[in-house]
Structure 1
Amino acid sequence: MPAPFVSELCGFREGRPNTSDKNDPLSQELGHAFFELLGVPHDKTAPKTVDKAWSAAMVADLAKQIAATAPHLRIRAERRLEEFEQYAHLSALKSLAEDASPEVAAALTRLEQATYTVPELASLVDALEDTLAAADSRRRALVDLLGDESPLRLDVAVDRSGPSVPVDATDAPSHLIAGFSLKWSLRTDRLQDPRTQGAKMATMRRGRMPHFAAVTMEPRPYMLGRLGRGTGDLDCVYHLALSPLVEAVQAVFASNKDRIRQRDMFMRMVEQRRLRDYDDLVAYVATL
């Protein structure tokens, strides 16, 4: 079944489906067949952007669907990895770049005030300030040399209290159960983003690897294959409307050998569960 919110996000731009590449006639042909099966009216105008509306709708739908079976889970959009216990150490590097602690600043202020009554302390305070400034300069140089290795934000995150964290704790990092990268359509310049993020998550984690997958509305078998037939950076790719897409691909990609080859590759992805339906995503999250 298509995701219940998908019809709100579909529409046409200059006569082409908003899942289709304007420079790819085959993408547009497939997009029209796909939208026909989805029942998208031909006069429905596509929203200017779908990213924020999509993540908000998906968070609301997941929270509603799993409320009865997994009330301990929290579904949220736009979360940084370092918010979760497996990746909390990523924020340590950023803290090194911050100024000296408030305690040190307060102590220096008290010393400076004391110089009014004990003038001989003035030279010692000046020396201490110079030493702290030099240490701060060295620290910042090291931080600049290391760079920022923190991965991108998760478009949608599923988390719960950590196994060693009291239920009523509000300031402790939670445990990341699943993360999703949302890509309405796929372009060559951003195709590798989810796979790069998955690889970083696997490398940087301290603890259990969360379930991580891409979610898309891309119709082209070739592009889905480039994303989904990877080397383990993604657990799988979820599609918002897989059943109608399967039907559209079987109809459109049956006219010549090249198209048949792409159709067969696409069907293998479905059979191997590299490409899964949105219902599978909901069912998986509900069992966590």
Structure 2
Amino acid sequence: MLKKHPELTASIGTDYLINHDIVVLRNPYENKSKISSNSDLFGKLPIFHANISAKFTMRSDRAQNSRTEALNMIRNRKGALPHIVVVTAEPLSSRIASIALGTGDIDCVYHVCLYELEKVVNKIGGESKALLDTLTKGNRLKDIFDLLFDLST
């Protein structure tokens, strides 16, 4: 796209970009009474509502790719920040924490089997249980079904 439209280079840049796994677009609200020349051109473009990074497991490099993807979007946005989330099936609390805890570049991590994971970790106990409790009680790790509700806000 940059080769076809070199004027986009100033907006997008040429940094290391990671492909998005899932993007959620929405149509902008159109207020017919306030139309300017810019809204005629840009008002019809969809709004980037959310980026969902899907990582079946969380090796350290995969977690960092999700973080890099989020930071690239934060730096290159033109307007409000979209929701930036990660969906995973990672069974280790420590690996989930590597992306869920931190500076806030990721809104939340959603687990595809959170209740099953909690059941197993509660039986095991120890540091894994304490870490999983920290993640869930701090709303840094949620069940996958919460994703639909969180994206609607």
Instruction: Please classify the TM superposition score into its range, dividing by the shorter chain length.
Output: 0.7 to 0.9
How big is the shift at 1:159?
1.2
- Output the CA distance in 1 between the equivalents of 2:99 and 2:63: 7
The C-alpha deviation readout for 1:232-270, integer Å capped at 9, x for no partner, is 110010001111110111112x3xxxxx12320111110
Letter in 1 for 2:61: D
Contact 2:60 2:98 in 1 (8 A): no
- Output the CA distance in 1 between the equivalents of 2:147 and 2:108: 10
Letter in 2 for 1:266: L
Contact 1:196 1:233 in 2 (8 A): no
1:280 equivalenced with 2:146 (yes/no)? yes
- Output the CA distance in 1 between the equivalents of 2:65 and 2:46: 25
The structure carrying a bigger helix percent of its residues is: 1
- Structure 2: state its 5+ residue gaps: 33-40
Large movers: runs of 4+ above 3 Å: 91-94, 163-166
How big is the shift at 1:92?
6.1
> Could you tell me which of 258, 271, 284 is aligned with 2:137?
271
1:207 equivalenced with 2:47 (yes/no)? no
- Output the CA distance in 2 between the equivalents of 1:165 and 1:149: 36
The C-alpha deviation readout for 1:33-82, integer Å capped at 9, x for no partner, is xxxxxxxxxxxxxxxxxxxxxxxxxxxxxxxxxxxxxxxxxxxxxxxxxx
Hey, what does 2:69 align to over in structure 1? 197
**Superposition TM-score, scaled by structure 1 size:** 0.44
1:187 equivalenced with 2:59 (yes/no)? yes
- Structure 1: state its 5+ residue gaps: 1-90, 98-142, 255-259
Hey, what does 2:29 align to over in structure 1? 163
Cα separation, partners in 2 of 1:204 and 1:270, compared to 1, 3 Å: same
Letter in 1 for 2:89: M
Letter in 2 for 1:240: V
CA RMSD of aligned residues (A): 2.5
How big is the shift at 1:184?
0.3
The C-alpha deviation readout for 1:129-178, integer Å capped at 9, x for no partner, is xxxxxxxxxxxxxx7xxx72263232112111133599xx9xx4310111
- Counting aligned pairs with the same residue, the percent is 29
Letter in 2 for 1:237: V
- Output the CA distance in 2 between the equivalents of 1:209 and 1:92: 23
Cα separation, partners in 2 of 1:247 and 1:230, compared to 1, 3 Å: same
- Output the CA distance in 2 between the equivalents of 1:188 and 1:162: 37
How big is the shift at 1:182?
0.1
The structure carrying a bigger strand percent of its residues is: 2
Hey, what does 2:6 align to over in structure 1? 96
- Output the CA distance in 2 between the equivalents of 1:246 and 1:209: 31
Larger radius of gyration: 1
Question: Secondary structure at the residue paired with 1:233?
Answer: coil
- Output the CA distance in 2 between the equivalents of 1:268 and 1:174: 37
**Superposition TM-score, scaled by structure 2 size:** 0.80
Contact 1:215 1:240 in 2 (8 A): yes
In the TM superposition, 1:105-184 aligns within 5 A as 148-149=14-15, 151-164=17-30, 172-184=44-56
> Could you tell me which of 104, 121, 137 is aligned with 1:232?
104
- Output the CA distance in 2 between the equivalents of 1:192 and 1:93: 28
Q: Specify which structure has the bigger relative contact order, considering alpha-carbon pairs within 8 angstroms and separated by 6 or more residues.
A: 1
Letter in 1 for 2:149: A
